Amino acid sequence: MKIKSLVLTNFRNYKSLKVDFSDKINVFIGKNAQGKTNLLESIFYCCIGKSFKSIKDKDIINFDENEGYIGLLAERKYRELKIEVKLSKLHKKNILINALPIKKIGELIGEINVVFFSPSELKLVRESPEERRKFMDIDISQTNKRYFYLLSRYEKILSNRNKLLKNSENIDFVKETIDIWDRAIVQTAKKIAFERKKFIDEIMPYTEKAQSYLSGGKEEIKLNYVCGCNVKLDEKFEENMDKLLKKNLEKDFKLGYTTIGVHRDDIDIFLNGVEVKSFGSQGQQRTVALSLKLAELESMYLRTGEYPILMLDDVFSELDSERQARLLKFADRTQTFITCTDEKKITGKIFEIEKGKIKTIKN
Ligand SMILES: Nc1ncnc2c1ncn2[C@@H]1O[C@H](COP(=O)(O)OP(=O)(O)O)[C@@H](O)[C@H]1O
Ligand SMILES: [Mg+2]
């Protein structure tokens, strides 16, 4: 999977940009606030259909303009791909694949697979379970569209169940009507839980490998999928979860929301037997987050037969030179986009970015 070129019009601080990339490593050098992350963001947008930064689409259009454009030419194993995003502050965005407009984001996801890493990905290790669920969801969705649609189905069902809990006057009414939601929720939860468990099992050996590679073999990592349904992942999953939903009904009714389900899932991460979230040093947490991302790279290759593109935003400044060198070796197997503030000893196509303008320094 390779990105050949990118065109931007009125995207963030880029009024107009046209650039061709190298199939290997691309390095963007520039001072702070010049547009390095913005450039990665525009590529990411074409892969996932949303930004890793803003929630609002309007934010990514240039302050002074009403319309923006991202156009990206990519190459997969057996086909070429043109992805275009037409953004507007006045109406809904339009996404086109090979000149054909898509109806749902699900159609875009998986066309170009991407793994993105920046210092803020530390939250993957350190912050709330939501971050780890997002990690699983973005990854699995990229190679499994069914899963992507399953997630939105689950969210709808959950929101309906919660509405019923919150808006009903008395519990008897809830008891009479909730069964239809419970049946739907256990079915979808089961599928999601099994996919997530499979994913964790799949990235586990790669995470171990990446961790020991990055840390020079000193640290041993373990991942553990924790299912928020509080039931075993076996053939009795649906039955057991349904029982638990019924058992918790009075509590859920008082609270006004559903307390068990895959919306409560998490991943426990241990380093040398100790939980990283609470006890790991900042450096260890950073390496763990990076190992998870590199494991993503390998597991996507396993699933699709192609490496996803890798984006490393501002990560080099925070790694010691040994880890930098190791990471670069890893990056060598796929097309990589790296941003940093000063010239590093990275071989690749080097670009300089200044105030939303790009200049090729070395081919
Ligand atoms: N919608 C927008 N229109 C114009 N400029 C923007 C917009 N959004 C962000 N910027 C500008 O982009 C710059 C930050 O770019 P960024 O890519 O994060 O910098 P860096 O090179 O440090 O990664 C800031 O100067 C900010 O004002
Ligand atoms: Mg930046």
Read off the CATH number of the domain in which 175 is found.
1.20.1050.90
Residues 337-348: what's their mean pLDDT? 85
Q: What is the pLDDT of residue 37?
A: 96
Q: Are residues 84 and 182 in the same domain?
A: no
State the ligand closest to the CA atom of 28: 1
Distance 37 CA to ligand 1 centre (A): 8
Exposed / middle / buried, residue 67 (Cβ in 10 Å: 0-12, 13-18, 19+): middle
Q: Where do runs of H (alpha helix) occur along 215-281?
A: 237-247, 249-255, 276-279
Amino acid, res. 361: I
In angstroms and rounded to an integer, the radius of gyration of the C-alpha atoms of the chain is: 22
State the ligand closest to the CA atom of 353: 1
Neighbours of ion ligand 2 (CB under 5 A): 36-37
C-alpha distance from residue 301 to each of 142, 292, 363 (Å): 12, 14, 27
Q: Are residues 33 and 103 in the same domain?
A: yes
State the ligand closest to the CA atom of 63: 1
Tens of pLDDT along 169-213?
A: 889 998 999 999 999 999 999 999 999 999 999 999 999 999 998
Distance 318 CA to ligand 2 centre (A): 13
Res 320 pLDDT > 90: no
The rounded mean pLDDT for the chain is 93
Distance 227 CA to ligand 1 centre (A): 39
Tell me the best of 16, 31, 37, 38 to mutate to test the pocket of ligand 1, counting ligand atoms within 8 Å of each CB and taking the most.
38
Tell me the best of 9, 13, 16 to mutate to test the pocket of ligand 1, counting ligand atoms within 8 Å of each CB and taking the most.
13
Q: Are residues 146 and 264 in the same domain?
A: yes
Q: Are residues 298 and 337 in the same domain?
A: no
Tokens representing 208? 């171990």
Distance 12 CA to ligand 1 centre (A): 6
Tell me the best of 8, 10, 12, 27 to mutate to test the pocket of ligand 1, counting ligand atoms within 8 Å of each CB and taking the most.
12
Q: Are residues 219 and 71 in the same domain?
A: no
Q: What is the pLDDT of residue 311?
A: 96
Q: What is the pLDDT of residue 236?
A: 96
Exposed / middle / buried, residue 222 (Cβ in 10 Å: 0-12, 13-18, 19+): middle
Q: Are residues 61 and 208 in the same domain?
A: no
List all residues whose CB is within 6 A of at least one atom of ligand 1: 12-13, 30, 32-38, 59-63
Distance 36 CA to ligand 2 centre (A): 5
State the ligand closest to the CA atom of 314: 2
Q: Are residues 95 and 236 in the same domain?
A: no
Q: Are residues 40 and 95 in the same domain?
A: yes
Q: Are residues 301 and 312 in the same domain?
A: no
Q: Are residues 290 and 310 in the same domain?
A: no
What's the number of domains the chain is made of?
2
Tens of pLDDT along 221-230?
A: 999 999 999 9
Q: Confidence class of residue 124 from pLDDT cuts 50, 70 and 90?
A: very high
Res 343 pLDDT > 80: no
Q: Return d(Cα 36, Cα 341) in angstroms, integer.
A: 9
Distance 116 CA to ligand 1 centre (A): 18
Q: Are residues 93 and 141 in the same domain?
A: no
Q: What is the pLDDT of residue 342?
A: 81
Last residue of a domain, one of 258, 281, 305: 305
Residue ID of nearest Cα to ligand 1 atom 25: 33
Q: At what angle do helices 179-214 and 129-143 cross, to 10 degrees?
A: 90
Residue 335 · residue 24 · CB < 8 Å: yes
Distance 37 CA to ligand 2 centre (A): 4
Q: Return d(Cα 110, Cα 84) in angstroms, integer.
A: 15
Is pTM, for the whole model, over 0.85? yes
Q: Are residues 268 and 161 in the same domain?
A: yes
Atom of ligand 1 nearest to the CA of 31: 21
Domain hosting 217: range is: 122-305
Report the percentage of the chain scoring pLDDT > 70. Answer: 100
Q: 114: helix, coil or strand?
A: strand
